[in-house]
Amino acid sequence: MPPHAPQYDVGAPTLENDREPTRRVCMKVAILKETRAGERRVALVPLGVKTLLKAGLEVTVEAGAGSASSISDDEYKEAGAGIASSAEEALGGAGMVLGVNAPSVEVVASMSEGTILVSFLSPLTSPDLVRALAAAKVTGIGMEMVPRITRAQSMDALSSQATVAGYKAVLVAADHLPKFLPMFTTAAGTIRPAKALILGAGVAGLQAIATARRLGAVVLAFDVRPAVKEQVESLGASFLEAEEEVAAEGEGGYAKELSEDQHQKELDLIAGAIVDCDVVITTAQIPGRDAPLLITDDMVKSMRPGSVIIDLASESGGNCALTQSGETVVEHGVQILGPVNLPTGIPVHASQMYSKNIVTLISEFIGEEGKIELDFENDVIGPSTVTHQGEVTNERVKSTLSA
């Protein structure tokens, strides 16, 4: 038997009839302490534990898994979870593992055949992990693969975590800016409000706009999807408009890459606005591609010293030519930050939202009395599954492995 073969704990006996007592088998769900450097989130909060117990599952949490999100082991115990003293103990007999980030390939290799792992997996850029999942015959379900359909909104961790990132980006910018954001009228004089430019008005961008407005900044925003103009304006920001429309809306309401000519028009538009901005937050992404370049070296040079750029696209190449992912650089007197994993900076609410997403997702395949019923025809579970029974089931992921 493999070291961690699921030995589902046996729950209270139920009587099927008077003579033949049968025992209900609960699947054990393990929550491991996240191991990514700097990670403070946890995949499941105590409220999620209670929901899973009600659904007929059993939950074991590795000791200390919630501590960076201000959740003690005692709180998990009160919610009904068991506490394991190590990751190995938590994994022992677990049929499902929930995480925020993917575990290491070594941990995946130690999982027993048939385990269901649900976490962010970055399957398109993590071939070693995908191979390890297939080799261990682990069913890998990627949170980033959840389709962005209306029905799945409450399972959409990309959106919940982008909301956190957009909010936190403004706080980081405010902290680095040597100025106030709001206008002040005081006996010591009147302070003009700071001006913020938000590039990309998707989930993170809209939250950044709302947060910058709440902090009193004057906000401008731009996106290549003209449909967001109304949303931007409803948040009290102004939408930048070019003389000729710059637009590129692709499939499913996402952006697509601009033509060279349109991209140049966008750069001209941004160059005209950026000179006067104290804070710039960039969030522009195109699914499956490098982030578009929106801020050139010359544009940074044109900004006032002390201004701050927060590039939320830094992990996919960056929207600013001078961004270094995970670093803060100062060029032409302008601070350029390329933060990675901003949601971990608000761990309590980021975990709470993530936990709601993951519980809603797995509820799709928990049947009566905690029975697991994986249905790959399900419009959420099918596309979210990356590996199953030793096969890579997602065609896009498969093609990245053979490329």
Active site residues: 148, 153, 156, 159, 254
- The answer for 178, left when phi > 0, alpha when psi is -120 to 50, beta otherwise, is alpha
Token pair for residue 6? 């699921």
To the nearest whole angstrom, how small is the minimum distance from the Cβ of residue 228 to ligand NAD? 6
Q: Which residue is nearest to ligand NAD (CB)?
A: 202
To the nearest whole angstrom, how small is the minimum distance from the Cβ of residue 285 to ligand NAD? 4
Nearer CB in complex with ligand NAD: 6/343? 343
Residue linked to tokens 């999100």: 69
Cα separation of 323 and 307, whole Å? 14
Nearer CB in complex with ligand NAD: 59/204? 204
Cα separation of 46 and 31, whole Å? 11
Q: Environment class of residue 175 by beta-carbon count within 10 Å: exposed (0-12), middle (13-18) or buried (19+)?
A: exposed
Nearer CB in complex with ligand NAD: 189/288? 288
Token pair for residue 378? 């399900």
Nearer CB in complex with ligand NAD: 55/196? 196
Residues that bind ligand NAD (CB under 6 A): 148-150, 152-153, 156, 158-159, 162, 199-205, 222-225, 253-255, 258, 266, 283-287, 292, 294
Pairing of β 116-119 and β 308-311: unpaired
CA–CA distances in Å: residue 319 to residues 139, 214, 248, 257, 286: 35, 25, 17, 13, 11
In 27-57, which positions are buried (b, 16+ CB within 10 angstroms) versus exposed (e)?
Answer: bbbbbbbbebeebbbbbbbbebbbbbbebbb
To the nearest whole angstrom, how small is the minimum distance from the Cβ of residue 290 to ligand NAD? 11
To the nearest whole angstrom, how small is the minimum distance from the Cβ of residue 232 to ligand NAD? 10
Nearer CB in complex with ligand NAD: 28/225? 225
SS3 content of the chain, % helix, strand, coil (to 5): 35, 20, 45
Cα separation of 268 and 378, whole Å? 46
Cα separation of 119 and 104, whole Å? 12
Nearer CB in complex with ligand NAD: 8/254? 254
To the nearest whole angstrom, how small is the minimum distance from the Cβ of residue 367 to ligand NAD? 25
Nearer CB in complex with ligand NAD: 6/292? 292
Token pair for residue 84? 């394991």
To the nearest whole angstrom, how small is the minimum distance from the Cβ of residue 263 to ligand NAD? 7
CA–CA distances in Å: residue 221 to residues 196, 261, 321, 329: 8, 21, 19, 24
To the nearest whole angstrom, how small is the minimum distance from the Cβ of residue 259 to ligand NAD? 11
Contact (Cβ atoms closer than 8 angstroms) between residue 32 and residue 44: no
Query: Strand, helix or coil at 371?
Result: coil
